Chains A and B, each alone.
Chain A
Amino acid sequence: DQQVKQNSPSLSVQEGRISILNCDYTNSMFDYFLWYKKYPAEGPTFLISISSIKDKNEDGRFTVFLNKSAKHLSLHIVPSQPGDSAVYFCAASGGQNFVFGPGTRLSVLP
């Protein structure tokens, strides 16, 4: 049973437009959520996080939104750039351990 779901395995966006990556979770004990970006042959790189006491966190071009009642979070990237093309993992934590989603492959087309 997947506790963290990313239902879109892939997403293509035109350069300059907004990318929206979605993530759903089932465990109401999760209180900390993160997004990681992964390029081929590299480890995941931390992007942005949000705790359950907030509903929005912004860092430059990246904004994460959390809807606790829907157990849903999303990552917005605007404007999207070709260098953003990577696999994006959503992760959730209720303590020290993380549970990762299956990832969404984002392709930003020039």
Chain B
Amino acid sequence: SAVISQKPSRDICQRGTSLTIQCQVDSQVTMMFWYRQQPGQSLTLIATANQGSEATYESGFVIDKFPISRPNLTFSTLTVSNMSPEDSSIYLCSGSRNQPQHFGDGTRLSIL
């Protein structure tokens, strides 16, 4: 199964700033995804990261707030823009060639 590395593992940010989270996969995967896990809740899909084209966003998530890049098959970034305390969550990257998806350890983000 793919090994997925995310960084940073955690960060504390000021309101109104932006943070970019990086996700690196150790083998080529077909699909890469970004999820959010808010405190006490389950994983919610933000978007599917598409190689070389715009990400596909789920309802409730927009590109201006969560711009995503995927320049090649093994790397993707998620930016959380203009952060507010409501954005405090764990952000997780996942990848799959065929099912199932495998996850990174996540980025724990706190906004003051």
Contact = CB atoms under 8 A, between A and B. Distances in A.
Interface string A18-43: 00000000000000101010000111
Contact of B103 (A41, A43, A96, A97): A43
B105 interface: yes
Interface residues of B, number: 24
5 contacts: A43-B6, A43-B106, A89-B42, A100-B43, A101-B42
A89 B43 contact: yes
Given A42-B105, A93-B99, 20 more contacts: A34-B100, A41-B105, A41-B108, A43-B4, A43-B92, A43-B105, A44-B43, A44-B92, A44-B103, A45-B103, A46-B1, A46-B101, A46-B102, A49-B99, A89-B43, A96-B31, A98-B45, A98-B101, A99-B45, A100-B43
B76 to A, nearest CB: 15
A4 to B, nearest CB: 8
Interface of B: 1, 4, 6, 31, 33, 41-45, 48, 58, 92, 94, 96, 99-106, 108
A110 to B, nearest CB: 27
Interface residues of A, number: 20
Contacts of A100: 42-44
A103 B42 contact: yes
Contacts of A41: 105, 108
Q: B45, B94, B99, B102 — which one has the most chain A CB atoms within 10 A of its CB?
A: B99
A102 B42 contact: yes
B49 to A, nearest CB: 12
A-B residue pairs, 10 tightest by C-beta: A43-B103, A100-B43, A102-B42, A43-B105, A100-B42, A46-B100, A44-B103, A43-B104, A42-B105, A43-B106
